[in-house]
Structure 1
Amino acid sequence: MSADKQVLESLALLYLTFGHSTDGILSGEEMRALADKLRAWAPDAALGDIGELLKTTVATYKGAEDKLLTARGATEALQGKLEPDQLRTILADLEAIAAADGHVSAEEKQFIADTTRSFGL
């Protein structure tokens, strides 16, 4: 699977918002899982390119006034560009990121449920 730049940017923003906004902490395990999931979407991308994408995404996230609204925009962009099977992959990625620290919170479960609804799945 290989995604275009806009899809990767939207994925990075969605995954980062999910990882941080649901419990206020983005653990090292979650960040590694997030990076691994992004690499799966762009297997030919250099590790440095993924790192740059994440740095840019962190800056966007920090600068966002309403982080969840920004994530909703990313969700809508992904829904408009990807097939249902790809959207299901995103949901599985969110589940893996949530579980990376050994605990899936109620907020993480709710975010995944909301994203599932937003995707129309």
Structure 2
Amino acid sequence: MEYILLIIGTYLMMAVNRRLLGIPGFFYYSSVRPFLRLRYGEKLLRVEEVYYWEMADQLGNMAQLAILPGYLIAFDLIVPGTLWGKFGVFLLVNYIWWGICAGYQVEKYIPQTPALRPRPAKVRES
């Protein structure tokens, strides 16, 4: 029964993200953004100027991959005493996955961001 409720709740949240905003990962990305800001600092702002919506969209698609491992860890491997404890572990596993995927997206887009590319040095002829 708990599996069914989690599956329904997860896909309901994904549908709300997609319906309201047109992208599935806006809430996922917004939730891990403070930690990305700590890790990347000003680089994150430069990357977001150009690739914000692409990163949020891709994170929404990647976040779906954590659903089944989250269920297995929260309900089969770790046995917290209460139902709320299981939901908490499930959310923690998913949150860690969102952070890893969002960090990967930032790393991927740093070299492609025009403001962060290395500038070629001018050679002066004498």
TM-score, length basis structure 1:
0.35
Query: TM-score if structure 2 supplies the norm length?
Result: 0.34
Higher alpha-carbon Rg: 2
User: Larger RCO: Structure 1 or Structure 2 (Cα < 8 Å, ≥ 6 residues apart)?
Assistant: 1
